[in-house]
Amino acid sequence: MIRTLAGLGLVPLAARRVQAACDLPAVHIDAQRVVDRPIIHAGLDPSIGTNIQGPSLIRTPDWLPNRMGRYYLYFADHKGSYIRLAYADHVEGPWSIHVPGSLHLPESNFLTERPPVPEGRSHVPRREGVPSPADSAVMPHIASPDVHVRDDRREIVMYFHGLAGPSFQRSRVAWSTDGIRFTASEDLIGRSYIRAFRHDGWWYMMAMPGIFYRSRDGMPPLEEGPTLFEPDMRHAAVYLHGSTLFVFWSRAGDTPEHILVSTGDVSGDWGDWRNSAERSLLKPERPWEGADLPLEPSIRDAVNIRVNQLRDPAIYAEGDRVYLLYSVAGEAGIGLARVDINC
């Protein structure tokens, strides 16, 4: 079990050099489900719909006004019009839905109306439950919240993505003093699916597929750096332990798609960063995770029916506990596991 936490992706802490980098082949890493059910699911409230994915968990700070609970959990519909919000006093729940949600599409500075469909895009769905290429290319939405408590700014900061043009998704940053009402930047800041962490006096962001950015204060403009992962990488989460960056991710096309983990030594210049070969961490094993459904390769895009897949990892750390949140049965709910790392 980790005794010292040097940093984390969702509730960032200043990185400290507490140990040498972990070499993944020598690391013992294990994930165990905390509860045998999803902590967020469509039955909690009809307002959240049935496409449930992209979690990001924070512990609410004492300075946050009118706190609804000790924890806020932000999540999304893959092609939804607002960022969902749940609250609880315990990580494992029970969770309640804040029906109005948080950031909404009209406040995001992303497109709110469909642009013209790019020429040649098919209107035929590629698979049951998956949008057609034409719909996917032009559907206005916001998703993939990555939320951080910024005590230095007394703000809650959210990185998120949306549709900026036909087949053109990019990220923005938004900030809030109450964790509910957010103000979004006008500038686009980088590629989609950003996960941020603080390290060595910088804020680093990793976007899909493993493209790194950085800035001193976590705000734009961002400097672009190396790309460390393969094109089939889907969503990811980051956890910094000493000078080792653990990257939790999934890969479109896997059978079944599931949660993987890689590591990288980030002690030197970021131009020299490299990631290890991946290791499987968590696969669908429960019916509520889709394990009772047929095995087939996943494809990149939203999925609006239950499938045998785990996606969208997120990491939350508190004390000596490290939690993995992930979307279940494709995008049908959010599960919770405890991660143990020994290196």
Percent of the chain scoring above 90 in pLDDT: 89
For residue 322, what are the CA distances in angstroms to 28, 109, 204?
14, 34, 20
Q: Is the pLDDT of residue 4 over 80?
A: no
Q: Is the pLDDT of residue 10 over 70?
A: no
Q: Which residues of 43-60 are buried (b: 16+ CB within 10 A; e: fewer)?
A: ebbeebeebbbbbbbbeb
CATH architecture of structural domain 24-342: 5 Propeller (2.115)
H helix count then E strand count, the chain = 1, 20
- Work out the pLDDT band at 21, boundaries 50, 70, 90: low
pLDDT of residue 313: 99
Dump pLDDT digits (tens) for 77-114.
Answer: 999 999 999 999 999 999 999 999 999 999 999 999 99
Q: Is the pLDDT of residue 311 over 80?
A: yes
The arithmetic mean of pLDDT across residues 24-44, rounded, is 93
Q: To the nearest 10°, the Cα dihedral for 323, 329, 334, 338?
A: -20
pTM above 0.85, yes or no: yes
> What is the layout of strands, in order, in the sheet containing 155-165?
142-150, 155-165, 168-176, 183-184
Structural contact between residues 194 and 161, judged by C-beta atoms closer than 8 angstroms? yes
* Averaged pLDDT score across all residues of the chain: 93
Dump pLDDT digits (tens) for 158-202.
Answer: 999 999 999 999 999 999 999 999 999 999 999 999 999 999 999
Structural contact between residues 243 and 303, judged by C-beta atoms closer than 8 angstroms? no
For residue 221, what are the CA distances in angstroms to 156, 204, 208, 215, 224?
19, 12, 18, 7, 10
SS3 for 300?
Answer: coil
Structural contact between residues 284 and 306, judged by C-beta atoms closer than 8 angstroms? no
Q: Is the pLDDT of residue 129 over 60?
A: yes
CA atoms within 13 A on the CB side of 209: 10
The arithmetic mean of pLDDT across residues 2-28, rounded, is 44
Q: Is the pLDDT of residue 322 over 50?
A: yes
- Match 């406040």 to its residue by tokens: 107
pLDDT of residue 328: 99
Cross-strand pairs, 32: 338
Q: Is the pLDDT of residue 16 over 70?
A: no
The arithmetic mean of pLDDT across residues 218-243, rounded, is 96
